[in-house]
Every structure is written in C-alpha cells, then in structure tokens.
C-alpha cells in the first residue's frame, strides 16, 4: 500500500511537496492510524530547514501529532481496538494519510470535540503541561510569565495556569493576540514589539515579578526576563526564536536571585517519560475539555496539499492559535 505524505527539500516552505510513500507497518506495541488531521509545530519548520532531525529510528515525515481511527494493531497491543478514535503524540510522521504510534502514546478523543479540533491537542497541550507542571512545578497563586502568548503552546499555557490557580501574564506581538490571551484568562498582556514588557510585568505585579517564566524566545528577551523574575524563580526555556547567544554579566544576576534555569524538549524524550506525562495530563486536564473549561484555539485549517502555505504562516508569526492540517474527512462513516 502507498499513501500521500509530506516530503521536502531542505530550505524554505516552497521546498515542501506531497509524495507517495509506503504505508508504515506497525511494530510490536504499535498501532497503525488512518489519519484524519494533523498539525504543524515550530519543530516541523526547523526540520524542514535541516536544523532539527527526527530521533534515530523515527519517521522522517513531518508531523508530531495526529488524530484518526485505529486501522491495524501490531503484535502485543492490548489497550486499543481497530476502529477506536484516537489522538497520538509522535516523534514524526503525522503529516501523512497513515502513521504508526506506540499504543501508550495515544489518548481518547474527548466526546465533545471532533477530529479536527482534537488535532490541536497532543503536541501543544502535552508540551504546555510538561512546562508548567512536570518542570515548572507551578503552585496555586504563583505568577507565570508566558512568552509567545498567541502561539498554540501559549494559548494552552494561559488556560493551564488558570486551571492550576496561578496568575498568567503573557507577551505577544499584536493587540489581537493579547486580547485573545486575556479572553482565555491572562490577567495582563504586553506587546513586545511596541513596549518594554519588563516595565509592564513589574507594574502588573506591584514590583514582585513572576515566579515562573516559560520562554520560547531565549536570547533577545534575556535582560528583561532577568528584571522580572522573582527571587528563587524558575525559568524554563523550550525554544530559541530570539537566538541562543547572550552577552553580559549573566551568572552574577542568576546567582543574586537564586534563579533555576531549565532547558527542555519533548520530542526526544523516552516512551516511559511520555507515558507518564500523558497519564498525568489525562487525569488533570482532559476532563476539562469535556466540561468546556479548556478550549482548543485554532487559527487556520489547511488541506495537506497546502502544507507549504501553513509553514509560511507559522514562520510569519501571524497565527493566533494552532495551524491544523486536514488529511481525511471528519465523517466517521467515511473512514
């Protein structure tokens, strides 16, 4: 069997194309999913540029998440049945008509949302949950600064901070993104393009600063981050959109405030780590999708053959929420 899948020549979005490749065969403890929808993430754009290769042994097809129907079971699978609707966290391969996934890295799609909306959950919400809880260890009442507040991860983080009883504050690059963040629960938001966000954050916290910074920017925000982080604050870096180089008196400022800095990614983590993350997320957060307290935020839905346009949108930083890739019909009767 052959399938359509995202292929690319390293470089810009115009190097993306849809090719025909063999349908993967599920290995032990894996399932084969007929994909309804997938999505794109910043990691996909980096892989396309040749800067972020997939983990060894993983598919080189783009796509870190997928939703669809279980089509076939590999040997030893006990948790799922053929025909089950599922969401999958992937190391790659999601931008295709079929993908294999380890059975422990699947989640049930909430009854209240359809396949397309569910495609906005796996990578983004698990990343956000990991940043806030597994690494950031947020507690009730803590102030949390979220950079990239209009991104998929940013819109998820704002809601998760609120759910945890924290106080979310965001930065973003447009008034529209800031207004959306406030509608999701942010108590304050600042446009990093037009103002010094550190002044706003300190004013909003009565000079106390923030207990946690969740940072997808890196170098270009370093000095302002140092200004706003509170004593013994936790600074979690998960992206370097603003570069990885920092100049100046770095260590003494970290030392004086007793700051803990942690860098993290999710894609290359072990199956065991991801299994525990999914278990915790399912227990703590998933019921709130059913109730409507948590909501997926989707900016645009592209068909698979418009993948290059989706990448161009992400790299322009104009999206407010998730960019979804529709691959098959949402109608269960057609799957």
What is the C-alpha separation between 229 and 241, in angstroms, rounded?
Answer: 20
* pLDDT tops 60 at residue 79: yes
37-51, 161-175, 239-253: which has the minimum mean pLDDT?
A: 239-253
Phi then psi dihedrals of residue 5, to 5 deg: -155, 155
The predicted pLDDT at position 334 comes to: 54
Rounded mean pLDDT of the chain?
95
* pLDDT tops 60 at residue 332: no
Place of tokens 């200004």: 227
The predicted pLDDT at position 244 comes to: 86
**Among 59, 66, 61, which residue's Cα sits nearest to residue 85?**
66
Place of tokens 């570069």: 243
What is the C-alpha separation between 202 and 245, in angstroms, rounded?
Answer: 25
142-156, 166-180, 240-254, 258-272: which has the minimum mean pLDDT?
A: 240-254
Orientation of helix 152-163 relative to helix 175-183, angle to 10° = 30
Place of tokens 């992206």: 239
DSSP at 292: T
pLDDT in tens, 23-41: 999 999 999 999 999 999 9
The predicted pLDDT at position 321 comes to: 93
The predicted pLDDT at position 247 comes to: 84
pLDDT in tens, 208-263: 999 999 999 988 899 999 999 999 999 999 999 888 888 888 889 899 999 999 99
What is the C-alpha separation between 90 and 59, in angstroms, rounded?
Answer: 9
153-162, 232-241, 251-260, 324-333: which has the minimum mean pLDDT?
A: 324-333
Average pLDDT over residues 73-82: 97
Paired tokens of 261: 């800095």
Contact 33, 324 (CB under 8 A): no
The predicted pLDDT at position 245 comes to: 87
* pLDDT tops 70 at residue 331: no
The predicted pLDDT at position 329 comes to: 79
Counting every residue, how long is the chain? 335
State the Cα torsion 298-303-307-309 to the nearest 10°: -70
Average pLDDT over residues 118-135: 97
The predicted pLDDT at position 320 comes to: 93
Average pLDDT over residues 122-150: 97
* pLDDT tops 60 at residue 168: yes
The full DSSP string for 131-174 is IIIIIT---TT-EEEESSTTSHHHHHHHHHHHHTT-EEEEEESS
* pLDDT tops 80 at residue 295: yes
The predicted pLDDT at position 249 comes to: 82
For 86, what's the count of Cα atoms within 13 Å in the CB-facing half-sphere?
30
DSSP, collapsed to helix, strand or coil, labels residue 127 as helix
The predicted pLDDT at position 248 comes to: 80
CB-based burial label for 125 (10 Å; 0-12, 13-18, 19+): buried
Share of the chain above pLDDT 90, in %: 91
Q: How far is CA 47 from CA 53, 239, 310, 311, in A?
A: 6, 14, 15, 11
């Amino acid at each position: 069997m052959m399938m359509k899948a995202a292929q690319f020549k390293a470089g810009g979005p115009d190097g993306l194309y849809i090719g025909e490749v063999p349908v993967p065969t599920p290995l032990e403890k894996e399932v084969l999913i007929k994909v309804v929808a997938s999505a794109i993430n910043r990691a996909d754009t980096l892989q396309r540029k040749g800067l972020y290769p997939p983990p060894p042994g993983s598919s080189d097809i783009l796509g870190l998440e997928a939703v669809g129907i279980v089509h076939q079971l590999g040997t030893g699978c006990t948790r799922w049945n053929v025909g089950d609707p599922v969401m999958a966290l992937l190391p790659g391969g999601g931008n295709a008509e079929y993908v294999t996934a380890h059975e422990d890295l699947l989640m049930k799609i909430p009854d209240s949302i359809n396949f397309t909306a569910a495609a906005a959950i796996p990578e983004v919400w698990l990343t956000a949950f990991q940043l806030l809880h597994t690494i950031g260890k947020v507690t009730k009442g803590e102030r949390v600064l979220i950079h990239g507040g209009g991104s998929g991860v940013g819109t998820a983080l704002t809601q998760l901070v609120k759910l945890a009883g924290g106080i979310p504050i965001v930065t973003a690059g447009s008034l529209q993104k800031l207004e959306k963040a406030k509608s999701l629960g942010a108590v304050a938001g600042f446009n990093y393009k037009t103002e010094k966000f550190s002044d706003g954050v300190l004013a909003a916290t009565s000079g106390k600063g923030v207990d946690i910074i969740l940072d997808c920017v890196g170098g270009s925000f370093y000095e302002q981050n140092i200004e706003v982080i509170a004593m013994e604050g936790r600074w979690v870096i998960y992206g370097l959109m603003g570069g990885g180089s920092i100049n100046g008196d770095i260590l003494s400022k970290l030392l004086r405030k007793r700051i803990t800095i942690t860098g993290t990614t999710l894609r290359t983590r072990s199956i065991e780590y991801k299994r525990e993350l999914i278990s915790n997320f399912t227990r703590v957060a998933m019921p709130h999708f059913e109730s409507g307290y948590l909501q997926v935020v989707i900016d645009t839905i592209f068909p698979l053959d418009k993948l290059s346009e989706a990448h161009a949108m992400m790299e322009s930083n104009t999206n407010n929420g998730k960019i979804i890739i529709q691959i098959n019909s949402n109608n269960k009767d057609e799957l």
